[in-house]
A and B are shown apart, each in its own frame.
Chain A
Amino acid sequence: MSQPVRASLWAGLYCPGLPLSAVWDHQPGIGPVAVHSHQRGQARIFQAGRIAAQHGVRAGMGLSQALALLPQLQSRPRNPAMEQRALEQIALAAYGHSHQVVLAPPDTVLLEIAGSQRLRGGLQPLLDQLVKTLRQQGFRVRCGTAVVPAAARLLARVGQHADSPERLQHTLDALPIDALGLAPGKQQAIIGCGLRRLGELVRMGAPERARRFGSALNAELDQLYGRQPTPLAGWQPPERYRQRLELPVPSERSEALLFAGNRALDHLGGWLEVRDRALTALHVTLEREDAGNPIALGLSLARPGFDRARLLEMLALKLDRIRLPAPVAALVLKAETTLEHRPPQADLWDGRNHGDAWPALLDRLRARLGEEALSGIAPQADHRPEHAWRWVPPGTTRVCTETRPRPTWLLPEPRPCQRADFRLEDGPERIEAGWWDGQDCRRDYWIARDGRNRRVWIFHEHEPRSGWFLHGLFC
């Protein structure tokens, strides 16, 4: 009777090491690391890295005990804000594969994948791709799929898949009670009743369950088995890009900064892709360890786009130019973007991308020489020759109306000279101007020859100074 509705299928991405990855930003070769949290005024290990775990550091151990066990252990307190950011980073990667992404804090991201099955040629390739992308970004995730979002979250923890309601029920029934992740007291109460598996708990009547374990558990089980819809709040990538990256160890070595920058560009690239925007400028702020004035570096792109290799090269050139007064503790990236997105086009005949090479050259020169070192030159409507030109950004077009002869070279400032050194050839050209801005002048310009037979441009000034000045060279 009714139209077959396309069943939805949810994948859960569970990142068990999130608290650790969030504060220790996947720097290789850093040694044993851990995260600790404060419980009743005492620092306890919350999660230990792989090397630390091999040396016997366990979760729940006191920090001082862990340090006694492994003196070179580095531990940082848990940082919920950074965990949230890391979770959003996983969500960002997921957003490239699905239209519907939901955050399930503290450590899981859910995405709807029924609509994306054909994107990568099947469900398994899609998940494999996602896991691989996240691993490159430093997150090890476990996948689970289910037809219900709440169940997908649970199955991600145990790494199981259930792509039909029957299978879901079967899989859930077989799960042990402690997979639910309930509060320890409640879990003890259920196990104390002799219930081992989820199926046994479900077979108990709902009123009795509510009486024994509270009504919240019923709602939870209903959501899990898909009898009640799961309330979901869809996640969208942020409108504006801002990312703060703490360095594991404050450093003034540009290699360490570039390594962190490389990681940040990974993330930025993902954001630009899902937002379908092109980068026009990137503001990098280096926060100093000694809390002094942060150092700002601006990378502007002559053409909107995103070329990682070029951005990294520009960042390296910028870092080469400056001397860091103190070790840098964190990098903050802010992106200026545009919706105008023109993919680079290669020349049909020789396959070289000329359109992109020119902005790339300008960017590279600017990064090393500074913004002001590159300019075009443009005429300006003023009768006084020293005001008739100005430096402009390259590529600026301006109209030129001057028809009188002008020299090839202008001296930056007119230089006093002796009339006797020159032979006047052509002139005079009277220039009287500037009464409006207080730099009033009255001069007679002459084309003359100097002792070396060069044609020069000199003038005899009557006001405000009096005397002869050299202003330009004609060849």
Chain B
Amino acid sequence: MPEAQPLQHLLDQRSDLWRGRRRPQARCTGSGRAELDAWLPDGGWPCGRLVEILPACLGSGELDLLMPLLAEQTRQGQPVMLIAPPLVPCPQRLHRAGIALDRLVVVRAPDQALWAAEQSLKSGVCGSVLVWHPRGRVDARSIRRLQLAARESDAPAFVCYRRHQQPPPSLSALRLGLEPGPQLTLLRGDGPTRALHLGRANVIELAVRRRQSASAP
């Protein structure tokens, strides 16, 4: 048996090798919510890959969904980019969710949003990058470029489409449908087919966790 261990180790290193029994575990970062982590295929937000979010309408909860992640990253001093958000993110709400506002950068250039996202990912310094796709037709090539850029960074990258926009056929890690609630459906990526209703309880959970970490030395 002692020889089996290195072989196992060697096989694990090959991400391009498909083995029947188990899918290779992709690197991911915790979403900050236990039930969401359990529901996501990789056990968290995949790192260095693109996550596509398709909200049913504006304000379906796309930012709330990511707030625990952003809070964790900004508190560790990692910068976070919000690129071309459709409305103004309320600083009081972000602060309440635990986000360090001095690490948050909002880029207000809708027509250059994808370029800015690509640059941010390529730099490799951002905690995570969240970009709202500009209005109009979705260009498959620019999404592909974004995917390649995401691979160069360790950060999870999120692209949020507008209503009625169809994402191109792509190799993104995850595609999530989002409805007010927020309620999540997995449109791409193998995992549970059931929808996840997150509700509002998570925020309170986060607040409790923060209080605990604050009371610790």
Residue ranges of A at the interface with B (Cβ–Cβ < 8 Å): 352, 354, 357-358, 360-362, 364-365, 368-370, 372-379, 388-389, 391, 394-398, 400, 402, 406-412, 452-456, 472-475
Contacts and interface: CB of A to CB of B under 8 A. Distances in A.
Nearest to B181: A453
A412 to B, nearest CB: 6
B102 to A, nearest CB: 4
B197 to A, nearest CB: 12
B102 A396 contact: yes
A388 B94 CA distance: 13
Given A365-B107, A388-B92, A397-B102, 9 more contacts: A354-B125, A373-B109, A379-B91, A379-B95, A394-B102, A406-B90, A407-B90, A409-B90, A410-B89
Contacts of A402: 92, 95-96
Contacts of A369: 107, 109, 112, 116
Interface in B79-125: 79, 85-96, 101-109, 112, 115-116, 119-120, 123-125
B24 interface: no
Of A400, A456, A475, the most chain B CB neighbours within 10 A belong to A475
22 contacts: A357-B123, A364-B119, A365-B120, A373-B112, A376-B106, A377-B88, A377-B89, A379-B101, A389-B90, A394-B102, A400-B95, A402-B96, A408-B63, A408-B64, A408-B90, A409-B85, A410-B89, A452-B57, A452-B180, A473-B59, A474-B59, A475-B60
Contacts of B180: 452-455, 475
Contacts of A378: 91, 101
Nearest to A379: B91
Contact of B90 (A360, A364, A472): A472
B141 to A, nearest CB: 19
Given A352-B124, A357-B125, A361-B120, A376 B88 contact: no
Nearest to A356: B125
B116 A409 contact: no
Nearest to A457: B90
B182 interface: yes
A354 B126 CA distance: 10
B56 interface: yes
Interface string B31-57: 000000000000000000000000011
B107 A374 contact: yes
B8 to A, nearest CB: 27
Contacts of A368: 112, 115
Nearest to B64: A475
Nearest to B87: A409
Nearest to B79: A358
- Say whether chain A's binding surface is mostly helix, strand, loop, or mixed: mixed
Contacts of B87: 409-412, 473
Contact of A373 (B93, B107, B126): B107
B58 interface: yes
A400 B116 contact: no
B124 A473 contact: no
A49 B33 CA distance: 74
10 nearest A-B pairs in the assembled complex, by CB-CB distance: A473-B59, A475-B61, A409-B87, A361-B123, A402-B92, A400-B95, A406-B92, A369-B109, A397-B102, A379-B91
A99 B21 CA distance: 73
Contact of B94 (A358, A377, A394, A455): A377
A221 B89 CA distance: 80
Contacts of A454: 57, 59-60, 180
Nearest to A353: B125
B107 to A, nearest CB: 6
A376 B104 contact: yes
Contacts of A374: 105-108
Contacts of A362: 105
A474 to B, nearest CB: 8
A377 B91 contact: yes
Given A357-B124, A400-B95, A408-B89, A377 B63 contact: no
A1 B107 CA distance: 75
B88 A398 contact: no
Contacts of B112: 368-369, 373
Contacts of A372: 108
Of A370, A397, A473, which is in contact with the most chain B CB atoms at under 10 Å from its CB? Answer: A473
Nearest to A398: B101
B115 A409 contact: no
A412 B88 contact: yes
Nearest to B182: A475
Given A360-B123, A369-B116, A452-B57, A379 B92 contact: yes
Contacts of B125: 354, 357-358, 361
Interface string B157-186: 000000000000000000000001110000
A305 B3 CA distance: 54
A408 B108 contact: no
Contact of B93 (A370, A407, A412): A407
Contacts of B119: 361, 364-365
A104 B119 CA distance: 50
Contacts of B61: 475
Which of B57, B64, B92: most chain A CB closer than 10 A? B92
B108 A373 contact: yes
A94 B180 CA distance: 69
B149 to A, nearest CB: 12
A398 B87 CA distance: 21
